[in-house]
Amino acid sequence: MDSLDFAWLTADHWSAFERLFGARGACEGCWCMYHRLLAAEYKPNRGENNRAAMMALVERGAQPGILGFHEGQAVGWVSVSPREAFPRLDKSRVAKPFDDQAVWSVTCLFVAKEMRRKGVSVALLRAAIGFVKARGGRILEGYPIIPKKDSVPPVFAFPGLISAFHAAGFRTCAQRSETRALVRYDLV
């Protein structure tokens, strides 16, 4: 998808983010807070509390991810931050640290329904590579799904599909389950 423009989520782009995520916060009120909170914190905060928590991050100057724009409308999102921003990853068998390297993590990809299957996820991952490299990151990591079937329902595809990560140049470093992998892109 060559016709996308990208921008970090900042207060200037908050309304575009809200429109992309819609009233449901992308999926069941997540607002891309799932990996930023431990399980005990996440469940009671779904919905408005998660939206407010993401907004507070943005208002504090954090840049929790990148929006992809097509013809001025946000059509895609990739959550990308230093791994420390995602405490739930340390509790995950699939995403536990691979080694002691400092990494940035991609935890979520969300694409507007009408733009799915058009290469938006690959474009978002490539944008994340560039944005993280520009900020001095050395390794970008993801935890994609390895589909058992030809397609995965969108609600379950939020970590991204391994095919998109491979198309963006990531390599598989570990496969700790039949359906999930740990992939990396070396930025140096």
Domain at 98, CATH number: 3.40.630.30
Structural domains of the chain, count: 1
The per-residue pLDDT for range 100-125, each reduced to its tens digit, is 999 999 999 999 999 998 999 999 99
Angle formed at CA 42 by CA 149 and CA 165, multiple of 5 degrees: 35
Residue 83 tokens read as 């791994």
Count of Cβ atoms closer than 10 Å to residue 85 Cβ: 17
The per-residue pLDDT for range 170-181, each reduced to its tens digit, is 999 999 999 999
pLDDT at 178: 92
The per-residue pLDDT for range 69-109, each reduced to its tens digit, is 999 999 999 999 999 999 999 989 999 998 999 999 999 99
Name the residue among 30, 17, 2 with its Cα closest to residue 120.
Answer: 2
Domain range enclosing 132: 5-186
